[in-house]
Structure 1
Amino acid sequence: MRIKTINFRLAVICLAAASVGLSIAIISIAKLLLLLCVVATLLFAKGLSKDGAPLAKTFTLPAVLVVLLALVLSLSWTVAPLQEASGSLAKYGKLLLILAMMALIRDRREALCALAAFALAQLLVVLSSWMLFADMPVAWASSRTTVSHYTVFSGYLDQGIMSAVFAALCWHLRHLVPGRFGPRIAIAVAVLSLANVFFVMVGRSGQLVGVALLSLAIMWQLPKKYRIIVAVLPFLLVAVLFASSPTMRERLTLVKTEVQGYSARHDASTSSGVRLAFWRRAGQVIAQRPLAGAGVGSWSTEYDRLEREVNPQHENINPGSNPHQEYLLWGVQLGVPGLLLIAAFMLSILRDTLKMETPYARAAQSTLLALAVACLFNSTLYDGLIGDFFCVLIGLLLALGLSKPAGPPLPEGAT
């Protein structure tokens, strides 16, 4: 009698994919199980599946390893206390999740299972947010801003970005949804998710990510001779949304007011004012230490030093904080080479997506664009939850696109 066994490796992969839409506690458990699976695979498996993503032949593998090596080496010159530096280094350890997903997924069928788990969790978040908006009870909602901002498991900043990315994936991978009406259902979910970002969520980062991904999707649908319109398309979309969405109009107007307040009075008490003040200090650190930066975890120490030079009564900011801009954070920690390194990291992922079939490539490239835009206003890779979201999803999409098509083939002309 043949006994069916549970594929725990695939179960852990699916849990990791689903977890990035859920609470930070579930994400932490999933990450631990995922890394244990990697260790077990390295110790007991004969090798990676030949049908999976050719990890050793990707540009992403050396890019991730070089980034982590640079951060580790910077421990030797960091100005931060060892505890803070080690904590910051550990936060960037989530980049290994990209490699872990690619290493553990053995073929496209497994990648599709993980993608389905990811989609179900994201759909739960979107539907729950709409239920909260409609003043319906959502027993599983655990966010601190559930009542005020209709968030489910995370803050409005993270949820808005994730829902915008989910909408793009539903559109680009709509042909993978089974059934006669599968693609139409995927399109409806994409519209529902984007509407949630633009009309319910108040996170400006998520709204800008949504505009960027929508502009890219429209560009890809246009004939090549008309694609130049992408240069003005984001501005047109913002104008339309400004006129039609009270939420977006209020948030963009608030940005203008906050920026004017900082320009006139150096008011750093607002969201935009804090960012502008942090960015200014980050630029000063990079100018003072352009060759190697101040080392991993050095942002808080350097910010406090600069503030104390003009205000001896300055109270230290929280250890392990960040300047709310990923690019500047890398510049502070690693100098100009850090800015080049994060650009090389993203270009390496982009280079790998060029080997994929069109739908998978566009899904992965949309996710990468979302990361690039989000990093302009937040320390996205450094932060928990949203950083885990991007690392797990990028690893999953690279595995999906680079694996051999053991799953269902794409229909003719799928885009």
Structure 2
Amino acid sequence: MQHATKDSYPLILARSFAVIALFAVPLSTAGVNIAATLFAVCALLSPEVWRNWRSLFTDRVSAAALLLAAVLTLSLAWTTADRVHALDFLMKYRKLIYLPLLVLTFRDCRTTAWTTAAKWALFSALTFLLLLSCSNYFGWTSIGPWHSNTDPIRRAWVFKDHIAAGIMMALLFYLALNFAKHARARAAKMALYAVALLAIVNVLLMMQGRTGQIIAILFILIYVVTYFTSLRGVKPWVRWGSGVVLVAIAGGLVYAALHSHGSRLAETNDEISAYETSNKNTSMGVRIVFYRRSLELLAERPIIGHGVGTVQYEFDAYARNNTGAAAATAGNPHNEFLLMGIQLGAVGIALFVFLLVQIGRTAIELSEPARTIVFAYLFAFTIGCFANSLLLNFTEGNLFIFLIGIFLSCRKGTPAQA
């Protein structure tokens, strides 16, 4: 790359390992751990990172991430959980430290070469995962530790479960549509539209992850609205003709997701009814139980919470001597906002929302396509956090950190790649 002779070798290696970590997120847990560790080591050896350390306190995203990580660490002083368990749980949030380190590492990029590499690394990894998922679903292959030929729900799984993979396929769908819109070559445009179509079919009909399905449907609505907005000034018959085709395709896919046999999205009402009438241990029933417990725990300590890692201990106490869904327990309530509330009270929820808002504010300043990439996953991540603890989760959390950390460097005015 053009600026390789000007940047130190540790900085170049740090940026390289960050891109590799982003590429590995959809495919390999071990790959992410290795690449992320090497990124951190090389970043800390880079003189450029130490030269700019004061910007940690002036960059709003870095400051928000460090503040949330600091309060989580301080909550060890009042946690009601076992100290060893609390420390282990805290380590799952260590990815927050990577965010300011990524901002420092990519801070003075002189070209968009690194973000271009990151863009296609992520897109290629997601597309590869999509192809393997479809191949597994049709029985052509049996690849991946999460795949099962006997369990119909896991037929399309590869390296990740339906929640993580569903969210990533929804993201791939939206990115492929956006990239296709700006592609110049006709062949590239058609290939990207094909990826988008395959991705939306995968997430709505194959993967069976409700979170991913909801996000995908919202992405469809966003795309339809922006599509009609972009056709202002076009001949009416072209606008309405293409619009009818687009709405018909989108509506058909959404209808199939809501009504097809075995669709978990279609089973939502049945699961809630089964829980309410017979305390049946269903996925939606357990979530309702967890959310009610979380609100009760939040009411007990509304300001600073129960401390990091306390959910398992508190949920076990609630589940004791109960049956069915009421006996369910877990280490998190499947909602990142409630998880922060239990651990850190209103302070934790405010800090988490503050982090999301600061990322959004900074993303406005980005040039394309970085702005679309950041906003797309920020939207998916925020929606997903209402039904899952995504910052805590390995795959979704690391994708959030490395995607945001790398692409936030693409501010307007960054020189283009030579």
Indicate the TM-score class for this superposition, using the shorter chain for normalisation. Answer: 0.7 to 0.9
Confirm or deny that 1:299 pairs with 2:305: no
Equivalent residues of 2:79, 2:307 under 8 A apart: yes
Shift of 1:384: 1.5
| CA deviation vs aligned residue, 1:273-326 (integer Å, no higher than 9, x gap) | 111111110110001110111011111112223344879xx98956xx111111
Residue of 300, 305, 308 corresponding to 1:288? 300
Q: Which residue matches 2:122?
A: 118
Shift of 1:10: 3.9
Equivalent residues of 2:306, 2:345 under 8 A apart: yes
- 1:170-185 equivalences under 5 Å are 170-174=176-180, 179=185, 181-185=187-191
Q: Which residue matches 1:164?
A: 170
In structure 2, give the amino acid aligned to 1:264: T
The answer to which of 323-332 and 128-137 deviates more is: 128-137
Q: Which residue matches 1:190?
A: 196
Partner Cα separation in structure 1 for residue 105 and residue 339 of structure 2: 31
Partner Cα separation in structure 2 for residue 131 and residue 309 of structure 1: 45
Residues 403 and 57 of structure 1: is their aligned pair in 2 closer, same or farther, counting only changes over 3 Å?
farther
Unaligned runs of 5+ in 2: 233-247
Shift of 1:353: 0.8
Shift of 1:219: 2.8
Residue of 392, 396, 400 corresponding to 1:390? 400
Confirm or deny that 1:223 pairs with 2:264: no
Partner Cα separation in structure 2 for residue 158 and residue 193 of structure 1: 14
Residue of 137, 141, 144 corresponding to 2:141? 137
Equivalent residues of 2:15, 2:114 under 8 A apart: yes
DSSP 3-state at the match of 2:92: helix
Residues 11 and 205 of structure 1: is their aligned pair in 2 closer, same or farther, counting only changes over 3 Å?
same
DSSP 3-state at the match of 1:361: helix
Q: Which residue matches 1:32?
A: 37
Residue of 266, 272, 283 corresponding to 1:253? 266
Q: Which residue matches 2:240?
A: none
Shift of 1:225: 12
Shift of 1:395: 1.8
Residues 237 and 344 of structure 1: is their aligned pair in 2 closer, same or farther, counting only changes over 3 Å?
farther
Partner Cα separation in structure 2 for residue 237 and residue 396 of structure 1: 34
DSSP 3-state at the match of 1:404: coil
TM-score normalised over the length of structure 1 = 0.83
Q: Which residue matches 1:104?
A: 105
In structure 2, give the amino acid aligned to 1:356: L
- 1:13-412 equivalences under 5 Å are 13-42=18-47, 47=51, 57-105=58-106, 106=109, 107-137=111-141, 141-147=143-149, 148-174=154-180, 179=185, 181-223=187-229, 240-245=252-257, 247=260, 250-267=263-280, 269-308=281-320, 317=329, 321-357=331-367, 359-401=369-411, 404-407=414-417
In structure 1, give the amino acid aligned to 2:146: R
Equivalent residues of 1:243, 1:249 under 8 A apart: no
Query: How many residues are aligned here?
Result: 386
Shift of 1:176: 6.9
The answer to which of 128-137 and 18-27 deviates more is: 128-137
DSSP 3-state at the match of 1:153: coil
| CA deviation vs aligned residue, 1:50-76 (integer Å, no higher than 9, x gap) | xxxx87653211110111111111111
Partner Cα separation in structure 1 for residue 82 and residue 17 of structure 2: 36
Residues 325 and 274 of structure 1: is their aligned pair in 2 closer, same or farther, counting only changes over 3 Å?
same
Equivalent residues of 2:208, 2:265 under 8 A apart: no
DSSP 3-state at the match of 1:338: helix
Residues 181 and 304 of structure 1: is their aligned pair in 2 closer, same or farther, counting only changes over 3 Å?
same
Shift of 1:46: 6.8
Residues 369 and 114 of structure 1: is their aligned pair in 2 closer, same or farther, counting only changes over 3 Å?
same
Shift of 1:336: 1.6
Equivalent residues of 2:69, 2:97 under 8 A apart: no
Residues 109 and 98 of structure 1: is their aligned pair in 2 closer, same or farther, counting only changes over 3 Å?
same
Q: Which residue matches 1:232?
A: none
Partner Cα separation in structure 2 for residue 131 and residue 70 of structure 1: 45
Q: Which residue matches 2:241?
A: none
| Bigger relative contact order (CA 8 A; separation at least 6) | 1
Partner Cα separation in structure 1 for residue 173 and residue 413 of structure 2: 23
DSSP 3-state at the match of 1:121: helix
| CA deviation vs aligned residue, 1:81-131 (integer Å, no higher than 9, x gap) | 111111121111112333333332334111111222111111110111111
DSSP 3-state at the match of 1:250: coil
Partner Cα separation in structure 2 for residue 238 and residue 304 of structure 1: 43
Shift of 1:211: 1.2
In structure 2, give the amino acid aligned to 1:206: G
TM-score normalised over the length of structure 2 = 0.82
Partner Cα separation in structure 1 for residue 180 and residue 103 of structure 2: 22
| CA deviation vs aligned residue, 1:241-273 (integer Å, no higher than 9, x gap) | 453345587312321111112222333x11111
DSSP 3-state at the match of 1:208: helix
| CA deviation vs aligned residue, 1:139-177 (integer Å, no higher than 9, x gap) | xx2232343321121112111111111222223344676
Partner Cα separation in structure 1 for residue 52 and residue 374 of structure 2: 22
In structure 2, give the amino acid aligned to 1:355: E
Residues 176 and 26 of structure 1: is their aligned pair in 2 closer, same or farther, counting only changes over 3 Å?
farther
